[in-house]
């Protein structure tokens, strides 16, 4: 059986569901508004899993994802050095922190759909798509939860400037799937596991209950995203008879432009299939430079 985009059952779907999975991905990537983008992401994920539950698999197909996803006119995207820093202990600081998280979540929605549409030439079992569609759907929920928190604090996504460099990892790894897996889920999303408990504490101390609940959902579900990254990275290493740890170190040094910052959340990283000898040597070497 071939897994290269031709699975049985796809021809029986009705017209409304005739998009291939990579067309669904491009539909999300080319939608600018955050609430609209995430609504499409959720609807496409539901279609994918409904088909899977019915014993069918929507064809992967082929589509051309844009180099950069469509984004709303606001927030204004600034160089990270120009994004004003606010103290997290103040109400304005807490809004800025939630705004930054919303921006990360929106980027994450696009990153997970992009990995689906970008690398259709690499054959995978359907479970690869199950994982990234589920991750994209969860990021969509995270974005909306955080937007709801911003709105309950009389703000909104777009009210503040945001980090312009968030898509850089995707552009840098546009031709390198293993590099994408190493940098996006296994470095950037793993970093989220390190910093989220501290954020939860900030909102718990301030008594912002909806933000605590939203961040706890994010914290629980992000372990899965890192785990998907590690799983499929190891799958590709096995396919090509490569040493996962060595390849991971090479790829992170090639594509990641910053230090891996301790302290690491070793417990959650382990739960996600990231052993210490993957990340500690990189942190030590970079610290010595």
Residues that bind Fe ion (CB under 5 A): 105, 108, 139, 142, 189, 222, 225
Name residue, tokens 């739960």. 271
* Coil/strand/helix, residue 242: coil
Minimal CA–CA distance to 110: which of 211, 16, 33?
33
Q: How far is the CB of 283 from Fe ion (least distance, A)?
A: 21
Q: How far is the CB of 64 from Fe ion (least distance, A)?
A: 24
Task: Give the nearer residue to Fe ion in terms of CB position, either 75 or 192.
Answer: 192
Q: How far is the CB of 215 from Fe ion (least distance, A)?
A: 10
Q: How far apart are CA 163 and CA 161, in angstroms?
A: 7
Q: How far is CA 243 from each of CA 186, 233, 249, 264, rounded to the nearest angstrom?
A: 16, 11, 10, 23
Name residue, tokens 């820093």. 85
Q: How far is the CB of 190 from Fe ion (least distance, A)?
A: 10
Task: Give the nearer residue to Fe ion in terms of CB position, either 19 or 115.
Answer: 115
Task: Give the nearer residue to Fe ion in terms of CB position, either 189 or 194.
Answer: 189
- Which residue minimizes CB distance to Fe ion? 225
Phi/psi for 77 (5° steps) reads -100, 120
Q: How far is the CB of 219 from Fe ion (least distance, A)?
A: 9
Task: Give the nearer residue to Fe ion in terms of CB position, either 51 or 116.
Answer: 116
Task: Give the nearer residue to Fe ion in terms of CB position, either 71 or 142.
Answer: 142
Residue 171: CA count within 13 A, CB half-sphere: 10
């Amino acid at each position: 059986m071939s897994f290269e985009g031709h699975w049985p059952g796809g021809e029986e779907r009705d017209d409304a569901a005739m998009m291939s999975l990579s067309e669904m991905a491009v539909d999300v990537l080319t939608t600018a508004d955050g609430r609209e983008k995430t609504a499409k992401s959720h609807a496409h994920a539901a279609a994918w899993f409904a088909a899977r539950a019915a014993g069918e698999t929507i064809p992967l197909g082929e589509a051309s994802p844009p180099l950069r996803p469509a984004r709303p006119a606001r927030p204004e995207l600034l160089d990270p050095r120009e994004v004003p820093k606010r103290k997290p202990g103040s109400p304005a600081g807490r809004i800025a922190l939630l705004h930054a998280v919303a921006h990360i979540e929106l980027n994450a929605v696009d990153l997970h759909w992009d990995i689906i549409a970008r690398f259709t030439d690499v054959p995978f079992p359907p479970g690869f798509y199950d994982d990234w569609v589920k991750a994209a759907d969860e990021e969509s929920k995270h974005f909306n939860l955080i937007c709801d928190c911003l709105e309950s604090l009389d703000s909104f996504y777009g009210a503040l400037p945001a980090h312009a460099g968030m898509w850089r990892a995707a552009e840098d790894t546009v031709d390198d799937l293993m590099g994408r897996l190493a940098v996006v889920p296994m470095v950037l999303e793993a970093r989220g596991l390190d910093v989220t408990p501290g954020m939860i504490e900030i909102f718990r101390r301030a008594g912002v209950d909806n933000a605590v609940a939203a961040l706890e959902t994010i914290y629980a579900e992000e372990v899965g995203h890192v785990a998907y990254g590690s799983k499929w990275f190891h799958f590709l290493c096995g396919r090509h008879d490569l040493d996962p740890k060595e390849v991971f170190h090479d790829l992170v040094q090639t594509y990641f432009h910053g230090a891996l910052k301790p302290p690491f959340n070793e417990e959650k990283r382990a739960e996600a299939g990231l052993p210490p000898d993957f990340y500690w040597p990189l942190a030590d070497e970079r610290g010595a430079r």
